[in-house]
Structure 1
């Protein structure tokens, strides 16, 4: 059931944003990405730890990313998808690997993971407002030591996701969401 109240611009952006997998080959200015990241880092983070770090690949640097994905894939995946996967990653203008410090304390680790995820959502919404699409990937290669070493993920860091960024070629249709009320428990009295 669609709510009839007037939506704010932020609410509209949240509802309109889509995961984009089909990008135009047009270059994206690094200054624009830096600006978006500088706004995205205003995500809430416990203890102001700012646990995140970014590894960005663009231009010829995309080869490093595509090679790292290949190195982090199984031999079967490389044989079946190798060239196709490499070519796809070379078409996407920007790849950003978002990593976080892995605090050994469980509570802090969870807080840092949530904060980094909030930063990623901030980035996706900001990018959408500027006509840039993003897909947030958490593929198996993210855990592979060869991938991690090839792109410079340090010991004690977790890859929270890879963001593929570019101008939108095709926008998928919205998929319905379950109304919050169907998953809401209200406790009114003790």
Structure 2
């Protein structure tokens, strides 16, 4: 597919089919995305992958842990939490992206920018093969329990979770704001 068309047609996918995603192919696509994205920044990131049913169950438990600690939230939100937990168990694959930080704001931002390019390239490469994903950075994920459970270390930054799989349904595109509407001219 042409790059222009690929960029325009890629969608965030929230509903996945039961079709499994091959871990080896995900690794190859991620490797290719890294090669396309790297510049002078040395690799300072890593991935935590959940593909097997046991790994996906643990990840779903990790995501719910902080919310269910609150007894009121647990009772009041029980049906929603069960649905959310089930959704995460059914996602065919998830990749958590973690960037290393060294305290130098410029280098840390360069690393973050590189990781974001990798994620975008990974999404496009996967989409070209019919694999969709959703990049999640929800504030609910940023808690001590989740960070500890996924092995986030001192000096590392959570970048997001990619939920990955073959789309059950591809949403329609939304109208986009033309770039000119976001321009400001220096005066």
Cα deviation, residue 110, structure 1: 1.1
Q: Distance in 2 between matches of 1:49 and 1:72?
A: 34
Q: Is the 8 A contact 1:141 1:147 kept in 2?
A: no
Q: Equivalent residue for 1:145?
A: 144
Q: Equivalent residue for 1:183?
A: 182
Q: Equivalent residue for 2:55?
A: 61
Q: How does 1:1-190 map to 2 (within 5 A)?
A: 9-45=2-38, 47-59=40-52, 60-73=54-67, 75=70, 77-79=73-75, 80=77, 81-185=80-184
176-185 vs 100-109, greater mean Cα deviation: 176-185
SS at match of 1:41: helix
Q: Which runs of structure 1 show a deviation greater than 3 angstroms over 4 or more consecutive aligned residues?
A: 43-47, 76-79, 184-187
SS at match of 1:163: strand
In structure 1, stretches of 5+ residues that fail to align are 1-7
Q: Equivalent residue for 1:3?
A: none
Task: Tell me the TM-score normalized by structure 2.
Answer: 0.89
Against the structure 1 CA distance between its residues 186 and 9, is the aligned structure 2 distance closer, same or farther, given a 3 Å change threshold? farther
Q: Distance in 1 between matches of 2:107 and 2:74?
A: 37
Task: Tell me the TM-score normalized by structure 1.
Answer: 0.87
Q: Distance in 1 between matches of 2:111 and 2:48?
A: 18
RMSD of Structure 2 on Structure 1 (CA) = 2.0
